[in-house]
Amino acid sequence: MTTPTAAPTSLTAPTGPAESAGPAGPAGPAGPAGASSGVPTAPHTPDDTDRLGAAVDFVRNQDTATLLRLLLPGLDGLELRALADRCRFAHAALLVFPADGTSLRRQFAACGLDPDAVAQPSVVVRERLALRHRRDAAALDVRILRPEVHCADGERRVVEVFTLALPPGSELGEVAAHERARDHEAHIAFEVERPDPLVLRGLCETFAQHGAVADGGGYNPHEDGTVFYFTAPADSKAGYRRVELYASGDHRSVLTPHLADYQARRPAETLLRLMTGAWTTQALAACAQLRLPEAMDTRNDGGPRAAVGVDVLARAVDADPENLATLLRYLAMLGAVVAEPDGFRLTELGALLRADSPGSMRSLALMYGGAFYQSFALLTSAVRTGRTGFEQLFGENHFDYFARRPALAERFDQSMAASAHMFDPLPSHPVIAAADSAPERRTVVDVAGGTGELLGRILSARPALHGVLLERPHVVEAARRHLDTVGVGARCTYRVGDFADVPAGGDVYVLSRVLHDWDDDRCLEILRDCARAMPAHADLLVVERLLPSDGTPSLATAWDLHMMCNVGGRERRVDHYAALLDGAGLRLVGHSPLPLGASVLHARKAAAVAAARPSEPSRRG
């Protein structure tokens, strides 16, 4: 049983170097003119050309070390040198309100910027403005441009310009006046050079030690970059109240505690974003159901994907163009597509919703936007009664329900294969490697092995091994087709049956994502069935997600809720599995991590473990 791996990773929409905007704090940042508070003390607000010119001058004349000293006045010499060696000043940003494209070009030219700079939609700032001013986001035409500035120190930097069109007589005049006065979107950005988790933690800690406060952030999957936002310390003299720290790559392990600090100060906004999780599930399911990825995955001569216009996509998937555009804008916020001037471009993340993509997660999206989504509406009842929401809604457990509906059963089996990336290290596990190198032929028995995804990987990597797959009748046929396709069917034997029919005489037994489907009593029965079939020398590998013992956030905690509501099983801590193994006459030898938050537990018969301990320390998993 699996669940989606694409859970939200941040408290704000993902952002990257092409679109930088974090949550606004209660007080707006001082603008590039260097005001000391959110509202300028001048008798009138500077017009956009003045504001833009001030930002250009700021970018042109600052350098990294000087700006860091202004931003964090308490830095000593060693700290300043360490920061300047690890990050560089990259850009300053502001929001302007041109009447039209012509007036914006004139403003750019007046400030020495390229008037032909390319504009792209800015989903993040649009959503922030809509939330701040209680407006319909679809009615806000927000764009982003990044013209280059010729800097005094020879560095290449840009001014990040967000624009909201404000034609004469527009009802958005109040929005523009508010934003010009407070400059919520103004910020400065530093790019981390050669980032790694240790460096990023050190940078975040240094910022915090000198009074900077976490102000959100996010991981942008299609740009593969991580953004950390801060509110500058009260004694900062940099002239900007918001600071961005950008690091290429996926650094969510460092981002998580940073976002936790932000969340503690923004409970209402955080809760609101959490409440919209159902929208994300349905948007991804709709994307898969409409086959948008297939319609969007256009390439020229095998090169990069091209953007596709909304009208073209609407005809291809038989959808209303206006409503489809709304869905695509939301999918852009999730990173499944990218908004471009001439349409929307599919990302690698979105391509996983194609039915024929390697590692396709389309079936998973449809499962979790379908029957399992419906049963989650009965979560409260499941908590109160102890009965799964699925059983209350459909009248039977999901195994029986799917078994009588071949199309659903096939989709469920395909969804199980969607998380097959977790199996990548298993063919190299010491137990599998030892079986492959044995002088006599060894057999791997995959108990309830589904369509053979794991067994196929093991046999493909280990040509000396033979495989046995135990499954229900309709699944066995699907497994036979899959294992023939990957070229290992000739080394496989298929058994139709239940757990009581575990074949005897194998050398390695595998239980992959099986035990979490059941309560403890049934798990004990399954493990005893395996123990009875296992010869004294045999090994058992159990693949599951482990609940953390210290309560830290984990994928297993989310899966635990899903299992409770839909399946009737549960995720467990490693000591819980050890106790179940003990009850079946087995002993936990060791465990090691796998991708996607999973782990592999290695067990052997208790007597074999006792005999092997003095002489086989290397057999630990």
Residue 575, both tokens: 């000591």
Q: What is the CA radius of gyration of the chain?
A: 28
Which 8-state DSSP code applies to residue 572? B
Burial label for 373, CB within 10 Å (0-12, 13-18, 19+), is: middle
Residue 482, both tokens: 């899959």
Alpha carbon distance 600, 621 (integer Å): 8
**Residue 592: beta bridge partners?**
600
Helix (H, G, I), strand (E, B) or coil at 213: strand
- Residues 6+ positions from 137 with CB-CB distance below 8 Å: 126, 127, 129, 130, 329
- DSSP for 40-89, written as a single string: --SSSPPPHHHHHHHHHHHHHH--HHHHHHHHSTT--HHHHHHHHHHEEE
Alpha carbon distance 355, 375 (integer Å): 25
H/E stretch holding 349: helix 348-351
Burial label for 253, CB within 10 Å (0-12, 13-18, 19+), is: exposed
Question: Contact 200/192 with Cβ under 8 angstroms?
Answer: yes
Alpha carbon distance 112, 115 (integer Å): 9
Backbone dihedral angles phi then psi of residue 593, each to the nearest 5 degrees: -75, 155
Alpha carbon distance 212, 557 (integer Å): 32
Catalytic residue, candidates 222, 516, 591, 602: 516
The total of other beta-carbon atoms located within 10 Å of residue 19's CB is 25
Closest to 562 (Cα-Cα) out of 277, 269, 289: 277
Residue 521, both tokens: 């009593």
Measured in whole angstroms, the distance separating CA 399 from the mean position of its chain's CA atoms is 29
516 a catalytic residue: yes
Look at the block and give the residue holding tokens 């690698």: 348
Residue positions annotated with a catalytic role: 516
